[in-house]
Amino acid sequence: MIKNDLFLRALKGETVERPPVWMMRQAGRYLPEFMAIKKEYDFFTRCQTPDLASEITVQPIRRYGMDAAILFSDILVIPQAMNIEVEMKPNFGPYLPNPIRTAKDVEQVIIPDTEESLGYVMEAIKLTKEKLDNEIPLIGFAGSPWTILCYCVQGQGSKNFDKAKAFCFTQPVAAHQLLQKITDTTIDYLKAKVRAGVDAVQVFDSWGGMLSPEDYTEFSWKYIQQIIDALKDEAPVIVFGKGCWFALGDMAKSGASALGVDWTCSARNARYLSGGQITLQGNFDPARLLSPPKEIKRMVTEMIDAFGKDRYIANLGHGILPNIPIENAGAFVEAVKEYRQK
């Protein structure tokens, strides 16, 4: 039994004494202990070495005592397993030297056995569970099929993912074939993670907000729904769509246990759009962690008051930034732990 099950209880919609707290990208780049490892090992070596990945996962827990850990990894290990080359270039980000642009390219993409090709992730989960020693739950994650497609077609990060959108709109048959291959792989991957020991999974649709509501339904949501349908009876599923406030109504009826909200959507609107009966997660602006600690604590308290303490998980509205002072991140976590309903 997990000793601190606040996070899992909030996912079930149970009444809690205070909301649980964790931070997206909490295992990583703002921590000095992470930077010490980064100096010695390149990005994918960190992801692919179970000892390193598990150590990075528990670093923020040791420092701040969040209510959940999230496995250190990357969404782009999926395309790597699918026979798509992915590099992580310093000061540039993801780079795919052979982006997918044609139906023939899609044919070359394989659906792997993820237990085999991504076995290092499963090993990292097992090592992390040992280190956590049933103190708190562990979250596994994957990118949404649309978000993965964005990188596979664009070949790198982008402000508008114009090449990815052009591929979907000019070659829809090939695009849907690729999306289905990514979806099948992601389902297999997340199921393997649950078998390895994660207590919940999160799907990151980081680039969902690039699409119109109609295109979102066609090229993103219907594939996320497949993932939820396949996983919901095995583990709680959290869906985070950045810029996807327009889809909160559909998301709330999907069978997901919780929905992530970014900082551009107010708590009131998020509750209204989602129907008020599902757990919400978010939505502190990551840049606001640059404010003084006292101000952070005040704003976090106001955020919890706005969402309400139940059916709510305190988090950021996207990943923590690398330039956040460690005491400011600490103030965020402390404010949630100290929260008491008036």
Question: Once rounded to an integer, what is the mean pLDDT over residues 275-298?
Answer: 98
Residue 15 pLDDT more than 90? yes
Question: Once rounded to an integer, what is the mean pLDDT over residues 294-306?
Answer: 98
pLDDT 10s digits, 229-274: 999 999 999 999 999 999 999 999 999 999 999 999 999 999 999 9
Provide the pLDDT for residue 341.
77
On whether residue 17 sits in a domain, the answer given is: no
DSSP string, 240-254: EETT-GGGHHHHHTT
On whether residue 36 sits in a domain, the answer given is: yes
pLDDT 10s digits, 128-183: 999 999 999 999 999 999 999 999 999 999 999 999 999 999 999 999 999 999 99
Q: What share of the chain is helix, strand, coil (3-state, %, to 5)?
A: 50, 10, 35
On whether residue 55 sits in a domain, the answer given is: yes
Q: 3: pLDDT confidence band, cut at 50, 70 and 90?
A: very high
Which of 59-68, 84-93, 197-206 is predicted with the least confidence, judged by mean pLDDT? 84-93
What burial letters (b/e) apply to 250-275, b meaning 16+ CB within 10 Å?
A: bbbebebbbbbbbbebebeebbebbe
Domain count, the chain: 1
264 φ, ψ (degrees, to nearest 5): -85, -5
Q: 91: pLDDT confidence band, cut at 50, 70 and 90?
A: confident
On whether residue 120 sits in a domain, the answer given is: yes
Q: What is the span of the domain harbouring residue 99? A: 22-281
Question: Once rounded to an integer, what is the mean pLDDT over residues 104-114?
Answer: 97
pLDDT 10s digits, 320-335: 999 999 999 999 999 9
- Please report, in range form, the residues annotated as the binding site for substrate: 25-29, 44, 74, 151, 206, 318
CATH of the domain at 210: 3.20.20.210
Residue 342 pLDDT more than 80? no
On whether residue 134 sits in a domain, the answer given is: yes
- Please report, in range form, the residues annotated as the binding site: 25-29, 44, 74, 151, 206, 318
On whether residue 160 sits in a domain, the answer given is: yes
65: left (phi over 0), alpha (psi -120 to 50) or beta: left
On whether residue 299 sits in a domain, the answer given is: no
Of 257, 262, 165, the C-alpha closest to 218 is 165
Give the residue carrying structure tokens 């929260």.
339
The contacts of residue 58 (CB under 8 Å, 6+ apart) are: 69, 128, 131, 132
Q: What percent of the chain has pLDDT over 90?
A: 98
Overall pTM surpassing 0.75 (yes/no):
yes
On whether residue 207 sits in a domain, the answer given is: yes
